[in-house]
Amino acid sequence: MPGGPTINDKFPDIKGETQDTTEFSLYDYLGDSWGIVFMHPGDFTPVCTTELGTAALMAKDFEKRGVKLCGFSCNDSKSHKAWIEDIKTVTGGSVEFPLFCDPSRAVAAELGILDATNMDAKGLPLTVRSVFIIKPDKGIALMMTYPASTGRSFAEILRVVDSCQMTVKHAVATPVNWKNGEDVLVNFPLSNAQADERFGKDGYKIVEVPSEKGKDLARNYLRTTADPMAS
């Protein structure tokens, strides 16, 4: 994993300290759940404060999807505990999920998330604003990386969790700007005959496009079907 893990690699079992324990294991914490590990450039920083508060306020939304949250910042547990109090005061969000401590940057270096152009007061590199969505088998389903100056959208993270959880179970993909409950796309590799078997002959729609007009094709490339996980 030169430069750190990427999509479909196994996310490592990071071990060490959080605000609550000195014996944290990511794998033990996640168990068979989905997980999100999200990095922060540093404690007591404004963008990160708003992000962690929002994550705490949305924790129930992730929980009902079977997703466990884990924050990550290159500071020690004493710093984390004091920062968490600020976060609660400012945002109303109580950070009850683990906030991993990496003051040595050893784990951040292993993950390839350090920004050599962005230093703290001690001249040490800060982490970039990375997000890893982790499947129950500990494979990485999705990665997003933001610069330190740009806060993440946790509504978008929740949206892609819905997409990832659905597409690992069903032979579908999600189109641009898709939201939970909207129509999805039949997986491109499936032939029409295979789509008939999976969705039924009337269970999906072939979208007519000029490039396929008048052709008898074994596989039309643009086919839509209902969200298989919609209630």
- Element of type H or E holding 160: helix 154-167
Instruction: Indicate which residue of 48, 70, 74, 101 is catalytic.
Output: 48
State the DSSP code for 207: P
Tokens 């929980």 identify what position?
63
d(CA 176, CA 227): 14
The alpha helices in 31-111, defined as continuous H runs, are: 46-57, 59-63, 77-91, 106-111
* Structure tokens given for 153: 């959208």
Please state, in angstroms and as integers, the Cα–Cα distance from residue 199 to each residue in 83, 167, 171, 179, 203, following that order.
Answer: 50, 15, 9, 20, 5
Q: Supply the DSSP symbol for 23.
A: S
Catalytic residue flag (residue 48): yes
Catalytic residue list: 48
